[in-house]
Amino acid sequence: MSGRSIRVVLVALMAAAGVAQAQPVTSAPIALQGAGPYHRLTLPLAIYGRAAYGDLGDLRVHNAAGHAVPYAWLRNEAAAPRTASRAVPIFALPSNTASADAALVFTVRPDGSLALDGKTTAKPNDATQWLIDVSQVKGSLLQARFEVVPDARGLFAFRLEASEDLRQWRPVGGEEQLVRLAHGGQTIERMAVDLGNLRTRFLRLRWSDPQQGAPLSKVEIDSVQEVEPVAPIEWSGALKPERCAEDYCDYLLPRGLPVQSLRIDLADINTLAQVGVSGLLDATPASATPPQFVPRNPLYALRHQQRRTTPLPTGPGEAPLLDAVVYRLAQAGGEARSPVLALDGAVYARLRLRTSGPVSVLGAMPPTIAVGATPRTLVFLAQGGAPFSLAWSAAPDKGAVQGAVPGAPLALSTLIPGYAADKPVVADDASVTLPVAAVEAAVAAAALAPVPETAPNDPSRKWWLWGALGVGLLLLAGMAWSLFASLRKDRASAD
Protein backbone atom coordinates (compact mmCIF):
# COMPACT_ATOMS: atom_id res chain seq x y z
CA MET A 1 0.00 0.00 0.00
CA SER A 2 1.12 3.55 -0.71
CA GLY A 3 1.83 6.26 1.82
CA ARG A 4 -1.09 8.24 0.33
CA SER A 5 -3.53 5.53 1.38
CA ILE A 6 -2.15 5.58 4.90
CA ARG A 7 -2.56 9.35 5.06
CA VAL A 8 -6.19 9.01 3.95
CA VAL A 9 -6.88 6.56 6.75
CA LEU A 10 -5.14 8.76 9.34
CA VAL A 11 -7.17 11.77 8.23
CA ALA A 12 -10.36 9.72 8.55
CA LEU A 13 -9.36 8.63 12.06
CA MET A 14 -8.67 12.21 13.08
CA ALA A 15 -12.03 13.35 11.68
CA ALA A 16 -13.90 10.63 13.54
CA ALA A 17 -12.12 11.51 16.76
CA GLY A 18 -12.95 15.17 16.18
CA VAL A 19 -16.67 14.35 15.95
CA ALA A 20 -16.54 12.65 19.34
CA GLN A 21 -14.40 15.31 21.04
CA ALA A 22 -15.50 18.54 19.33
CA GLN A 23 -15.67 21.46 21.73
CA PRO A 24 -18.41 24.08 21.40
CA VAL A 25 -17.52 27.61 20.33
CA THR A 26 -17.20 29.79 23.44
CA SER A 27 -16.45 33.26 22.06
CA ALA A 28 -17.51 35.70 19.37
CA PRO A 29 -15.88 38.90 18.03
CA ILE A 30 -17.24 42.32 19.05
CA ALA A 31 -17.47 45.13 16.49
CA LEU A 32 -16.95 48.62 17.95
CA GLN A 33 -18.47 51.91 16.80
CA GLY A 34 -17.06 55.22 17.96
CA ALA A 35 -14.01 56.06 20.02
CA GLY A 36 -15.31 54.93 23.42
CA PRO A 37 -13.89 54.45 25.97
CA TYR A 38 -17.23 52.92 27.07
CA HIS A 39 -19.29 50.79 24.71
CA ARG A 40 -22.86 49.57 24.98
CA LEU A 41 -23.42 45.95 23.82
CA THR A 42 -26.91 44.42 23.43
CA LEU A 43 -26.75 40.64 23.58
CA PRO A 44 -28.64 38.39 21.17
CA LEU A 45 -31.17 36.07 22.83
CA ALA A 46 -29.29 33.06 21.49
CA ILE A 47 -26.62 33.63 24.15
CA TYR A 48 -28.92 32.02 26.75
CA GLY A 49 -28.57 28.68 24.96
CA ARG A 50 -24.78 28.87 24.99
CA ALA A 51 -23.80 30.34 28.36
CA ALA A 52 -23.25 27.95 31.25
CA TYR A 53 -25.33 29.98 33.72
CA GLY A 54 -28.89 31.18 33.27
CA ASP A 55 -28.09 34.60 34.78
CA LEU A 56 -25.24 35.05 32.25
CA GLY A 57 -22.83 35.45 35.14
CA ASP A 58 -20.15 33.57 33.19
CA LEU A 59 -19.94 36.15 30.39
CA ARG A 60 -16.64 37.95 29.96
CA VAL A 61 -15.33 40.61 27.59
CA HIS A 62 -11.75 40.01 26.44
CA ASN A 63 -9.30 42.29 24.66
CA ALA A 64 -6.76 41.30 22.02
CA ALA A 65 -4.35 40.00 24.68
CA GLY A 66 -7.05 37.70 26.06
CA HIS A 67 -7.42 39.70 29.28
CA ALA A 68 -10.88 40.28 30.78
CA VAL A 69 -11.93 43.94 30.72
CA PRO A 70 -14.37 45.57 33.19
CA TYR A 71 -18.08 45.58 32.37
CA ALA A 72 -21.45 46.12 34.09
CA TRP A 73 -25.06 45.28 33.34
CA LEU A 74 -27.01 48.26 32.10
CA ARG A 75 -30.28 49.30 33.80
CA ASN A 76 -29.48 47.33 36.97
CA GLU A 77 -29.07 50.54 38.97
CA ALA A 78 -31.13 52.95 36.87
CA ALA A 79 -34.11 54.74 38.35
CA ALA A 80 -37.36 52.74 38.34
CA PRO A 81 -39.47 53.22 35.18
CA ARG A 82 -42.60 55.37 35.41
CA THR A 83 -45.73 54.49 33.45
CA ALA A 84 -48.50 56.88 32.38
CA SER A 85 -51.71 56.81 30.34
CA ARG A 86 -53.38 59.62 28.45
CA ALA A 87 -55.96 60.22 25.73
CA VAL A 88 -54.44 61.75 22.60
CA PRO A 89 -55.93 63.84 19.77
CA ILE A 90 -57.11 61.94 16.68
CA PHE A 91 -58.08 63.25 13.24
CA ALA A 92 -60.08 61.45 10.56
CA LEU A 93 -58.54 61.71 7.09
CA PRO A 94 -60.12 60.92 3.71
CA SER A 95 -58.62 58.35 1.36
CA ASN A 96 -57.25 60.99 -1.03
CA THR A 97 -54.96 62.54 1.62
CA ALA A 98 -51.38 61.78 0.58
CA SER A 99 -48.36 61.98 2.86
CA ALA A 100 -47.39 65.45 1.67
CA ASP A 101 -51.02 66.68 1.90
CA ALA A 102 -51.26 65.70 5.58
CA ALA A 103 -48.52 68.18 6.43
CA LEU A 104 -50.48 70.97 4.69
CA VAL A 105 -53.70 70.26 6.56
CA PHE A 106 -52.15 70.90 10.00
CA THR A 107 -50.01 73.49 11.73
CA VAL A 108 -47.67 72.74 14.62
CA ARG A 109 -48.27 74.67 17.82
CA PRO A 110 -45.32 75.95 19.92
CA ASP A 111 -45.60 72.92 22.22
CA GLY A 112 -45.29 70.58 19.21
CA SER A 113 -48.93 69.45 19.07
CA LEU A 114 -51.11 69.65 15.95
CA ALA A 115 -53.91 72.05 15.06
CA LEU A 116 -56.11 72.04 11.96
CA ASP A 117 -55.04 74.67 9.46
CA GLY A 118 -58.53 76.09 8.86
CA LYS A 119 -59.64 72.97 7.03
CA THR A 120 -62.00 70.20 8.03
CA THR A 121 -61.08 66.56 8.15
CA ALA A 122 -63.24 63.67 7.00
CA LYS A 123 -66.30 62.46 8.89
CA PRO A 124 -65.50 59.46 11.12
CA ASN A 125 -67.73 57.14 9.09
CA ASP A 126 -65.95 58.14 5.86
CA ALA A 127 -62.38 58.02 7.17
CA THR A 128 -60.02 55.49 5.61
CA GLN A 129 -57.09 56.63 7.72
CA TRP A 130 -56.58 58.33 11.05
CA LEU A 131 -53.86 60.65 12.28
CA ILE A 132 -52.92 60.17 15.94
CA ASP A 133 -50.98 62.96 17.64
CA VAL A 134 -48.65 61.45 20.27
CA SER A 135 -46.27 64.43 20.38
CA GLN A 136 -47.19 65.25 23.99
CA VAL A 137 -46.64 61.71 25.31
CA LYS A 138 -43.48 61.46 27.40
CA GLY A 139 -41.22 58.45 27.12
CA SER A 140 -41.65 55.43 24.84
CA LEU A 141 -45.01 54.08 23.70
CA LEU A 142 -46.08 50.75 25.22
CA GLN A 143 -49.52 50.28 23.70
CA ALA A 144 -52.44 52.04 22.03
CA ARG A 145 -55.98 51.42 23.33
CA PHE A 146 -58.74 52.14 20.83
CA GLU A 147 -62.43 52.83 21.27
CA VAL A 148 -64.84 52.44 18.35
CA VAL A 149 -68.49 53.39 18.09
CA PRO A 150 -70.69 51.06 20.20
CA ASP A 151 -72.48 49.38 17.29
CA ALA A 152 -69.28 48.46 15.40
CA ARG A 153 -68.90 44.68 14.96
CA GLY A 154 -66.38 42.69 12.98
CA LEU A 155 -62.70 42.35 12.22
CA PHE A 156 -60.96 45.63 11.37
CA ALA A 157 -57.48 45.09 9.93
CA PHE A 158 -55.06 48.01 9.75
CA ARG A 159 -51.43 49.06 9.55
CA LEU A 160 -49.64 51.68 11.61
CA GLU A 161 -47.01 54.14 10.43
CA ALA A 162 -44.87 56.60 12.38
CA SER A 163 -43.51 60.01 11.46
CA GLU A 164 -41.65 62.94 12.94
CA ASP A 165 -42.74 65.57 10.39
CA LEU A 166 -45.96 64.26 8.73
CA ARG A 167 -44.05 63.87 5.46
CA GLN A 168 -41.81 60.85 5.87
CA TRP A 169 -43.56 57.76 7.23
CA ARG A 170 -42.15 54.40 8.33
CA PRO A 171 -44.09 51.19 9.06
CA VAL A 172 -44.68 50.09 12.65
CA GLY A 173 -44.84 46.28 12.76
CA GLY A 174 -47.11 44.35 10.42
CA GLU A 175 -50.85 44.17 9.95
CA GLU A 176 -52.84 44.45 13.20
CA GLN A 177 -56.49 43.88 14.02
CA LEU A 178 -59.22 45.44 16.10
CA VAL A 179 -61.75 42.74 16.91
CA ARG A 180 -65.27 42.83 18.29
CA LEU A 181 -67.11 39.53 17.66
CA ALA A 182 -69.70 37.26 19.22
CA HIS A 183 -68.81 33.57 18.90
CA GLY A 184 -70.16 30.53 20.74
CA GLY A 185 -71.94 32.64 23.30
CA GLN A 186 -68.80 34.64 24.07
CA THR A 187 -67.94 38.20 23.14
CA ILE A 188 -64.41 38.60 21.80
CA GLU A 189 -62.95 42.07 21.95
CA ARG A 190 -59.45 43.16 21.14
CA MET A 191 -58.93 46.89 21.26
CA ALA A 192 -55.29 47.25 22.35
CA VAL A 193 -52.16 47.03 20.20
CA ASP A 194 -48.57 46.75 21.41
CA LEU A 195 -46.26 49.53 20.25
CA GLY A 196 -43.01 47.96 21.42
CA ASN A 197 -41.42 50.97 23.19
CA LEU A 198 -41.77 53.07 20.07
CA ARG A 199 -40.61 56.69 20.13
CA THR A 200 -42.26 59.03 17.61
CA ARG A 201 -44.35 62.22 17.35
CA PHE A 202 -47.19 61.07 15.09
CA LEU A 203 -48.94 57.83 14.17
CA ARG A 204 -51.09 57.12 11.15
CA LEU A 205 -53.61 54.27 11.06
CA ARG A 206 -54.62 52.98 7.62
CA TRP A 207 -57.44 50.47 7.27
CA SER A 208 -56.32 47.51 5.14
CA ASP A 209 -59.75 47.47 3.48
CA PRO A 210 -61.24 50.99 3.34
CA GLN A 211 -64.71 49.44 3.23
CA GLN A 212 -64.05 47.44 6.43
CA GLY A 213 -62.93 50.22 8.78
CA ALA A 214 -64.52 51.28 12.06
CA PRO A 215 -65.14 54.86 13.20
CA LEU A 216 -62.76 55.63 16.07
CA SER A 217 -64.12 57.56 19.04
CA LYS A 218 -61.04 57.63 21.28
CA VAL A 219 -57.39 56.57 21.46
CA GLU A 220 -55.41 56.26 24.69
CA ILE A 221 -51.66 55.71 24.83
CA ASP A 222 -49.84 53.91 27.63
CA SER A 223 -46.21 54.97 27.90
CA VAL A 224 -43.17 54.37 30.07
CA GLN A 225 -40.31 56.68 30.96
CA GLU A 226 -37.02 54.90 31.54
CA VAL A 227 -33.58 56.35 32.03
CA GLU A 228 -31.90 53.79 29.78
CA PRO A 229 -33.25 52.96 26.31
CA VAL A 230 -34.91 49.59 25.90
CA ALA A 231 -33.71 47.25 23.16
CA PRO A 232 -36.39 45.98 20.72
CA ILE A 233 -38.03 42.72 21.74
CA GLU A 234 -36.79 39.51 20.11
CA TRP A 235 -38.75 36.30 19.54
CA SER A 236 -37.84 32.66 19.91
CA GLY A 237 -38.67 30.09 17.27
CA ALA A 238 -41.80 27.95 17.47
CA LEU A 239 -41.83 25.82 20.63
CA LYS A 240 -43.80 22.57 20.66
CA PRO A 241 -45.12 21.12 23.93
CA GLU A 242 -42.71 19.02 25.96
CA ARG A 243 -45.64 17.01 27.28
CA CYS A 244 -49.43 17.23 27.46
CA ALA A 245 -51.74 15.86 30.15
CA GLU A 246 -55.54 15.75 30.20
CA ASP A 247 -56.05 19.47 30.75
CA TYR A 248 -52.71 21.18 30.20
CA CYS A 249 -49.55 21.29 28.07
CA ASP A 250 -46.06 22.21 29.29
CA TYR A 251 -43.52 24.03 27.11
CA LEU A 252 -39.80 23.99 27.86
CA LEU A 253 -38.31 27.49 27.66
CA PRO A 254 -34.77 28.55 26.77
CA ARG A 255 -32.77 28.49 30.00
CA GLY A 256 -32.53 31.80 31.81
CA LEU A 257 -34.73 33.70 29.34
CA PRO A 258 -36.83 36.48 30.97
CA VAL A 259 -40.10 36.05 29.03
CA GLN A 260 -42.08 39.24 28.41
CA SER A 261 -44.44 38.24 25.60
CA LEU A 262 -46.27 35.08 24.54
CA ARG A 263 -47.77 34.18 21.19
CA ILE A 264 -50.03 31.12 21.01
CA ASP A 265 -50.47 29.70 17.49
CA LEU A 266 -53.47 27.40 17.18
CA ALA A 267 -53.22 24.66 14.56
CA ASP A 268 -56.91 24.52 13.58
CA ILE A 269 -59.01 27.32 12.20
CA ASN A 270 -62.33 28.17 13.91
CA THR A 271 -60.95 27.30 17.34
CA LEU A 272 -61.67 29.21 20.52
CA ALA A 273 -60.78 28.26 24.10
CA GLN A 274 -60.14 29.80 27.49
CA VAL A 275 -56.68 29.10 28.91
CA GLY A 276 -54.73 29.89 32.03
CA VAL A 277 -51.01 30.62 31.66
CA SER A 278 -48.64 29.73 34.49
CA GLY A 279 -44.89 29.84 34.90
CA LEU A 280 -43.18 26.72 36.25
CA LEU A 281 -39.98 27.01 38.26
CA ASP A 282 -37.28 24.39 38.58
CA ALA A 283 -37.85 21.83 41.32
CA THR A 284 -37.06 23.22 44.77
CA PRO A 285 -37.19 21.70 48.25
CA ALA A 286 -40.69 21.56 49.75
CA SER A 287 -39.61 23.90 52.53
CA ALA A 288 -38.47 26.58 50.13
CA THR A 289 -40.31 29.89 50.33
CA PRO A 290 -42.51 30.53 47.26
CA PRO A 291 -41.11 33.29 45.05
CA GLN A 292 -42.60 36.75 45.53
CA PHE A 293 -44.70 37.77 42.56
CA VAL A 294 -43.24 41.02 41.19
CA PRO A 295 -44.08 41.97 37.57
CA ARG A 296 -40.96 43.03 35.68
CA ASN A 297 -42.74 44.05 32.48
CA PRO A 298 -44.53 47.45 32.60
CA LEU A 299 -47.07 46.34 29.98
CA TYR A 300 -47.95 43.26 32.03
CA ALA A 301 -48.41 45.40 35.14
CA LEU A 302 -50.78 47.70 33.23
CA ARG A 303 -52.91 44.89 31.86
CA HIS A 304 -52.95 42.54 34.84
CA GLN A 305 -52.63 44.64 37.97
CA GLN A 306 -55.21 42.51 39.77
CA ARG A 307 -52.99 39.43 39.40
CA ARG A 308 -50.54 40.85 41.94
CA THR A 309 -52.87 39.85 44.77
CA THR A 310 -53.68 36.40 43.36
CA PRO A 311 -52.19 33.72 45.63
CA LEU A 312 -49.85 31.12 44.20
CA PRO A 313 -51.47 27.76 43.44
CA THR A 314 -51.02 24.77 45.68
CA GLY A 315 -48.79 23.08 43.10
CA PRO A 316 -45.12 23.54 44.02
CA GLY A 317 -43.19 26.03 41.91
CA GLU A 318 -46.17 27.20 39.82
CA ALA A 319 -46.97 30.92 39.43
CA PRO A 320 -50.29 31.95 37.78
CA LEU A 321 -49.73 34.71 35.25
CA LEU A 322 -52.95 35.39 33.38
CA ASP A 323 -56.22 34.02 31.99
CA ALA A 324 -57.03 34.62 28.35
CA VAL A 325 -59.26 33.57 25.48
CA VAL A 326 -57.25 32.27 22.54
CA TYR A 327 -58.86 31.99 19.14
CA ARG A 328 -58.35 31.55 15.43
CA LEU A 329 -61.51 32.35 13.49
CA ALA A 330 -62.37 32.72 9.81
CA GLN A 331 -63.97 36.08 9.04
CA ALA A 332 -65.00 37.94 5.92
CA GLY A 333 -62.07 40.31 6.32
CA GLY A 334 -59.55 37.52 6.95
CA GLU A 335 -58.56 35.40 9.93
CA ALA A 336 -59.03 36.76 13.43
CA ARG A 337 -56.22 35.60 15.70
CA SER A 338 -55.77 36.14 19.42
CA PRO A 339 -53.25 38.87 20.23
CA VAL A 340 -49.80 38.61 21.73
CA LEU A 341 -50.03 38.24 25.52
CA ALA A 342 -47.88 40.27 27.90
CA LEU A 343 -46.05 38.24 30.55
CA ASP A 344 -44.29 39.47 33.66
CA GLY A 345 -40.67 39.34 32.44
CA ALA A 346 -39.52 36.78 35.02
CA VAL A 347 -37.48 33.64 34.34
CA TYR A 348 -39.28 30.29 34.27
CA ALA A 349 -38.17 26.81 33.31
CA ARG A 350 -41.48 26.07 31.56
CA LEU A 351 -44.79 27.64 30.66
CA ARG A 352 -48.04 25.75 31.27
CA LEU A 353 -51.21 26.28 29.24
CA ARG A 354 -54.14 24.93 31.24
CA THR A 355 -57.60 24.51 29.71
CA SER A 356 -60.99 24.60 31.44
CA GLY A 357 -61.86 21.30 29.75
CA PRO A 358 -59.83 18.63 27.94
CA VAL A 359 -56.74 19.91 26.16
CA SER A 360 -58.34 18.87 22.87
CA VAL A 361 -60.40 22.10 22.97
CA LEU A 362 -57.22 23.72 21.62
CA GLY A 363 -57.49 21.66 18.44
CA ALA A 364 -56.54 18.30 17.04
CA MET A 365 -52.88 19.18 17.59
CA PRO A 366 -51.61 21.17 20.60
CA PRO A 367 -50.66 24.74 19.73
CA THR A 368 -47.11 25.92 19.31
CA ILE A 369 -45.94 28.98 21.22
CA ALA A 370 -43.28 31.62 20.77
CA VAL A 371 -41.87 33.75 23.58
CA GLY A 372 -40.48 37.26 23.27
CA ALA A 373 -37.92 38.95 25.49
CA THR A 374 -35.96 42.17 25.65
CA PRO A 375 -32.26 41.38 25.24
CA ARG A 376 -29.94 42.32 28.09
CA THR A 377 -27.41 45.09 27.56
CA LEU A 378 -24.00 45.54 29.11
CA VAL A 379 -21.49 48.39 29.13
CA PHE A 380 -17.76 47.66 29.01
CA LEU A 381 -14.57 49.67 29.16
CA ALA A 382 -12.43 49.24 26.04
CA GLN A 383 -9.28 48.62 28.06
CA GLY A 384 -6.28 47.30 26.16
CA GLY A 385 -6.02 46.72 22.44
CA ALA A 386 -8.70 45.70 19.97
CA PRO A 387 -10.15 43.41 18.75
CA PHE A 388 -12.48 42.64 21.64
CA SER A 389 -14.52 39.48 22.02
CA LEU A 390 -17.41 38.15 24.08
CA ALA A 391 -16.60 34.91 25.90
CA TRP A 392 -18.65 32.45 27.93
CA SER A 393 -18.20 29.09 29.65
CA ALA A 394 -18.79 25.82 27.84
CA ALA A 395 -20.24 24.16 30.96
CA PRO A 396 -20.91 25.08 34.60
CA ASP A 397 -17.89 24.80 36.89
CA LYS A 398 -19.16 23.21 40.09
CA GLY A 399 -16.09 24.28 42.02
CA ALA A 400 -16.18 27.92 40.95
CA VAL A 401 -17.68 30.71 43.02
CA GLN A 402 -19.81 33.14 41.02
CA GLY A 403 -18.27 36.62 41.10
CA ALA A 404 -14.88 35.38 42.31
CA VAL A 405 -13.48 34.92 38.80
CA PRO A 406 -11.59 37.87 37.28
CA GLY A 407 -13.71 39.79 34.84
CA ALA A 408 -17.01 39.27 36.66
CA PRO A 409 -19.52 42.12 36.20
CA LEU A 410 -19.14 45.23 38.33
CA ALA A 411 -21.65 47.73 39.61
CA LEU A 412 -22.27 50.62 37.20
CA SER A 413 -21.18 53.06 39.91
CA THR A 414 -17.86 51.20 40.11
CA LEU A 415 -17.33 50.94 36.37
CA ILE A 416 -18.22 54.58 35.61
CA PRO A 417 -16.98 57.19 38.12
CA GLY A 418 -19.67 59.79 38.78
CA TYR A 419 -22.49 57.54 37.52
CA ALA A 420 -25.97 58.96 38.28
CA ALA A 421 -29.01 56.68 38.34
CA ASP A 422 -31.26 59.39 36.89
CA LYS A 423 -29.14 59.98 33.78
CA PRO A 424 -28.43 57.66 30.84
CA VAL A 425 -24.99 56.16 30.44
CA VAL A 426 -22.88 57.85 27.76
CA ALA A 427 -21.39 55.04 25.67
CA ASP A 428 -20.78 54.24 22.01
CA ASP A 429 -22.42 51.25 20.38
CA ALA A 430 -20.97 47.79 19.90
CA SER A 431 -22.40 44.63 18.35
CA VAL A 432 -21.72 40.90 18.40
CA THR A 433 -22.82 38.13 16.07
CA LEU A 434 -22.81 34.64 17.52
CA PRO A 435 -21.40 31.91 15.25
CA VAL A 436 -23.94 29.43 13.89
CA ALA A 437 -22.63 25.89 13.44
CA ALA A 438 -24.40 23.22 11.43
CA VAL A 439 -24.35 20.89 14.40
CA GLU A 440 -25.97 23.52 16.65
CA ALA A 441 -28.63 24.19 14.01
CA ALA A 442 -29.42 20.47 13.84
CA VAL A 443 -29.67 20.28 17.63
CA ALA A 444 -31.99 23.31 17.69
CA ALA A 445 -34.20 21.75 15.03
CA ALA A 446 -34.32 18.48 16.95
CA ALA A 447 -35.33 20.34 20.11
CA LEU A 448 -38.44 21.64 18.32
CA ALA A 449 -39.49 18.21 17.03
CA PRO A 450 -42.80 16.86 18.42
CA VAL A 451 -42.44 14.61 21.44
CA PRO A 452 -44.91 11.65 21.36
CA GLU A 453 -46.62 11.47 24.72
CA THR A 454 -46.51 7.68 24.72
CA ALA A 455 -42.85 7.39 23.78
CA PRO A 456 -40.76 6.49 26.83
CA ASN A 457 -37.52 8.24 27.55
CA ASP A 458 -35.10 5.47 26.62
CA PRO A 459 -31.63 6.30 28.03
CA SER A 460 -30.09 3.36 26.16
CA ARG A 461 -30.48 5.14 22.82
CA LYS A 462 -27.46 7.38 23.42
CA TRP A 463 -25.39 4.29 24.23
CA TRP A 464 -26.32 2.85 20.83
CA LEU A 465 -25.06 6.03 19.20
CA TRP A 466 -21.78 5.95 21.12
CA GLY A 467 -21.51 2.25 20.38
CA ALA A 468 -21.92 2.85 16.64
CA LEU A 469 -19.24 5.53 16.77
CA GLY A 470 -16.94 3.16 18.66
CA VAL A 471 -17.46 0.39 16.10
CA GLY A 472 -16.64 2.83 13.31
CA LEU A 473 -13.43 3.87 15.05
CA LEU A 474 -12.45 0.21 15.54
CA LEU A 475 -13.05 -0.53 11.86
CA LEU A 476 -10.92 2.44 10.83
CA ALA A 477 -8.22 1.37 13.26
CA GLY A 478 -8.32 -2.16 11.80
CA MET A 479 -7.91 -0.79 8.30
CA ALA A 480 -4.96 1.32 9.42
CA TRP A 481 -3.33 -1.70 11.13
CA SER A 482 -3.82 -3.79 7.98
CA LEU A 483 -2.22 -1.06 5.86
CA PHE A 484 0.77 -0.73 8.22
CA ALA A 485 1.25 -4.55 8.22
CA SER A 486 1.07 -4.68 4.45
CA LEU A 487 3.59 -1.85 4.20
CA ARG A 488 6.04 -3.66 6.53
CA LYS A 489 5.67 -6.87 4.47
CA ASP A 490 6.37 -4.96 1.25
CA ARG A 491 9.48 -3.42 2.79
CA ALA A 492 10.69 -6.83 4.06
CA SER A 493 10.26 -8.47 0.66
CA ALA A 494 12.04 -5.56 -0.99
CA ASP A 495 15.04 -6.06 1.34
CATH code at 288?
2.60.120
Q: Are residues 180 and 266 both part of a single domain?
A: no
- pLDDT, tens only, 162-207: 999 888 999 998 888 898 887 667 778 889 999 988 999 999 999 9
Q: Are residues 67 and 117 both part of a single domain?
A: no
- pLDDT, tens only, 18-31: 444 445 668 899 99
Q: Are residues 89 and 216 both part of a single domain?
A: yes
Q: Is residue 482's pLDDT more than 80? A: no
Q: Are residues 42 and 60 both part of a single domain?
A: yes
Nearest Cα to Cα of residue 403 among 79, 73, 74: 73
Task: Give the domain-ending residue among 191, 225, 259.
Answer: 225
Residue 402 in any domain: the answer is no
Q: Are residues 332 and 281 both part of a single domain?
A: yes
Q: Are residues 242 and 316 both part of a single domain?
A: yes
- pLDDT, tens only, 341-353: 999 888 899 999 9
Q: Are residues 285 and 157 both part of a single domain?
A: no
Cα–Cα distance, 487 to 3 (Å, whole number)? 9
Residue 442 in any domain: the answer is yes
Task: Give the domain-ending residue among 170, 200, 225.
Answer: 225
Residue 400 in any domain: the answer is no
Domains identified in the chain, total number: 4
Q: Are residues 430 and 463 both part of a single domain?
A: no
Domain range for 240 is: 234-373
Q: Are residues 355 and 381 both part of a single domain?
A: no
Burial of 170 per CB tally in 10 Å (0-12, 13-18, 19+): exposed
Q: Are residues 93 and 164 both part of a single domain?
A: yes
Q: Are residues 253 and 349 both part of a single domain?
A: yes
CATH code at 126?
2.60.120.260
Task: Tell me the sheet residues that pair with 206.
Answer: 129, 159
Q: Residue 53 — φ and ψ, nearest 5°?
A: -120, 135
Q: Is residue 245's pLDDT more than 80? A: yes
**CB–CB of 430/40 below 8 Å?**
yes
Q: Are residues 32 and 21 both part of a single domain?
A: no
Task: Give the domain-ending residue among 197, 225, 253.
Answer: 225
- pLDDT, tens only, 263-288: 999 999 999 888 999 999 876 443 33
